[in-house]
Amino acid sequence: MISNVKEKDGNIYFILKQADAAANNYSSNLYQLTNGQPQQLTASNDIGNYTILDDGSLIFKAARTEKDKERIRKGEPLSIYQRLQPGMGEAMEWLRLPYAVGDMKLIDTDHFFFTVRHDPQFSELLDAAGGDMDKALREKEKNKPYRIFEEIPFWSNGGGDVSGKRSHLYYYANGEITSLSDAIETVNGLVLSPDKKTLLYTSNSFEGKAPLSNKLMQMDIATLTSKEVSPLDVPARYGGFAFIDNNELVFTAGTSFESIGNAPFYKWNLQNGQVAEVYSGNPYGMGNSVGSDIKGGSANSGITPDAKGFYYISTVIDHAPLMRADYKGNVSRITQNKEMIMEYVPYKDGFLTVAMVGDQPNEIYYLDKKGKLNAMSSMNTALLDEYAVTTPEEFTFTNENGIELIGYVIKPLGYEAGKKYPTILDVHGGPKTAFGPHFFHEMQYWAAQGYVVIFTNPTGGDGRGNEFADIRAKYGTVDYRDLMLFVDEAIALYPCIDTDNMGVTGGSYGGFMTNWIIGHTDRFKAAASQRSIASWISFSNTTDIGYSFIHSQIGGDAWTKHDELWEQSPMKYADQVKTPTLFIHSDEDYRCWMSEGIQMFYALKYFDVPARLCLFKNENHELSRSGKPQNRIKRLQEITNWMDSYLKADSSTELADK
């Protein structure tokens, strides 16, 4: 996967993340693109981001020795930065900081701000050990048999236990480090003004329960004094800050926590405090939510303003174009076709982008001023010379609300007219995301195994504006009917679909919908429910987004909306399920905790329905996208074997009976 594309003096750099199935891990290294060819610049395999200095040298965090890597693996807060000079073959160590550094914003190499993930429990161990790091780490190892929670959310998907932890702000000046946060403050979103005299960031100080809003803070760098400057007169979630000049900014802010609508864009003057909404964000909100399991990108995907307007990436129906908005609210598209732009940076008179075009996996493209994407790399597309890809076919249909939707059908590899093929309905997550005609590995794999794969974007998805996305208190109603109508339309248009051998699968919201579908129809002969939701009541009180998501999606909680939550929970209808179902879950999935999959599995076994639970250890909600390579392979094999056992007439049913 390609990400973090940057340019300096005509030199193009990027990070390439590659899976190593044999080693069961990923390598992530820094590369330079030269004449369309990637040149590897690092070999530490752990590069996450980098900064280009004015002299063209590169700074990045990387542990190079096994001793340092082992110290970090044991939990020692340590960040080691390397500096690669232009024309030099090897990076040299630049700086060591005794902190687990997150974000860093450089004024120059002797002055910069950085954030640190502060763990008060480890700080207590270090204090008790008199500052002896080895002793503190040994005590931390002894504490592994138990976990302590005192706040909500107490864990975060991909972030582990977060109870009591904060992201603190620090300032480095000529070797002297100054702490700028109090004990319960968490800081994010550091942005420097062009003249590097002002720092903006978001802040929250809380105990017990994290708020849904944040505060916007402004720091005078000369004095290191901060003040709250939140420009809106209501609680908001601020983000996406980008300076137009030293005094004016563009930003986004969500002000309604009972809605999943797109956040508006604002223009704000720091000197006089004037703020004005320049675009509502509806229908062209900020962000690429089009799904793919090889997506990558996103590092350089924010707002890029100038004197007349700003650029940003949006989701439009089933693709992700680069957009341009002026300060009067007029919005236009830069890319015109069904490309998926994942990140972009200004380059020459256009942009460097990471994008997915047609059947191609992600590559680096030059986006010219006419909106045309010109390929600059072929690192992934070269693989298509070795592997067959089946292009999705599209058709339109109209749902019960008169909205024209798009359906997609991938025919099996080696398709022969007149034959019928087992079929898999794939349901996207979110629900405020979208499928598109872009490369999706699991779908291509199933097509290569002889399946028709069908998918669509039901009501509740992204890319069609706030009204379409709003399914608050309507889960399992119009979205379910859209999916069933789509299946009917696909069957009518594609006689190759074997209606006696259809399966359904999906993850996250798609897992919820899979659980819902099997409780409301027997038309599917097999199902694979992944990282699913079974009960909104348990979901709301166990997961990392529980209380915020339930309020925005249902409009209440388990005490004020108990009946509504249960009514829209697949568990209520588990006694009606007849479909043999595989459940895929991960024990560190704190977005949809494993209790959700376990509940449905337990219920089906209780009611004597064939079911299988595959629980992955040390994986989280991102298993299918960034899990360990061998686990990703095992997951896909489990789903495919389950479908084979029920949907292919010549397959053994032994697996299903376990």
* Euclidean distance between CA atoms 271 and 169, whole angstroms: 24
pLDDT tens digits, 19-41: 999 999 999 999 999 999 999 99
Domain ranges of the chain: 231-387, 388-534+569-657
- C-beta separation of 6 from 300 below 8 A: yes
pLDDT above 80: residue 426: yes
* Euclidean distance between CA atoms 380 and 625, whole angstroms: 16
pLDDT score recorded for residue 652: 36
Quick check: helix, strand or coil at residue 577?
A: coil
For residue 650, name the pLDDT band (cuts at 50, 70, 90). low
pLDDT score recorded for residue 484: 98
Please tell me if the domain spanning 231-387 has the same topology as the one spanning 388-534+569-657: no
Indicate the DSSP class of residue 319.
Answer: B
Amino acid type, 62: A
**What is the full DSSP assignment across 235-252?**
-BEEEEEEESSSSEEEEE
- C-beta separation of 90 from 102 below 8 A: no
pLDDT above 60: residue 657: no
- C-beta separation of 63 from 43 below 8 A: no
* Euclidean distance between CA atoms 387 and 207, whole angstroms: 53
- C-beta separation of 59 from 48 below 8 A: no
For residue 656, name the pLDDT band (cuts at 50, 70, 90). very low
Average pLDDT over residues 317-342: 96
Dihedral of CA 437/441/443/444: which sign?
positive
b/e 114-142 (16+ beta carbons within 10 angstroms → b): bbbbbbeebeebbeebeeebeebbebbee
269, burial (CB in 10 Å: exposed 0-12, middle 13-18, buried 19+): middle
Quick check: helix, strand or coil at residue 488?
A: helix
The residues that bridge with 575 in the sheet, in sequence order, are none
**Between 386 and 289, whose confidence is greater?**
289
Residue pointed to by tokens 């137009």: 244
pLDDT tens digits, 200-242: 999 999 999 999 999 999 999 999 999 999 999 999 999 999 9
Neighbours of 195 (CB within 10 A): 11
Amino acid type, 94: W
For strands 497-507 and 526-530, give the pairing. Answer: parallel
pLDDT above 60: residue 478: yes
| Ramachandran sector of residue 465 (left: φ over 0; alpha: ψ -120 to 50; beta: rest) | left
pLDDT tens digits, 145-187: 999 999 999 999 999 999 999 999 999 999 999 999 999 999 9
For residue 655, name the pLDDT band (cuts at 50, 70, 90). very low
At 621, give phi and psi (nearest 5°): -65, -20
Amino acid type, 368: D
For residue 459, name the pLDDT band (cuts at 50, 70, 90). very high
pLDDT above 90: residue 556: no
**Between 453 and 258, whose confidence is greater?**
453
* Euclidean distance between CA atoms 273 and 258, whole angstroms: 27
Residue 395: its H or E element: strand 393-398
For residue 115, name the pLDDT band (cuts at 50, 70, 90). very high
Average pLDDT over residues 59-85: 94
pTM of the model: 0.95
**CATH code assigned to 388-534+569-657:** 3.40.50.1820
**Token pair for residue 427?**
């349901």
pLDDT score recorded for residue 298: 72
In CATH, 231-387 is 2.120.10.30: yes
Mean pLDDT across the chain: 94
Percentage with pLDDT > 90 across the chain: 91
pLDDT score recorded for residue 122: 92
* Euclidean distance between CA atoms 106 and 428, whole angstroms: 39
- C-beta separation of 230 from 238 below 8 A: yes
Average pLDDT over residues 494-500: 98
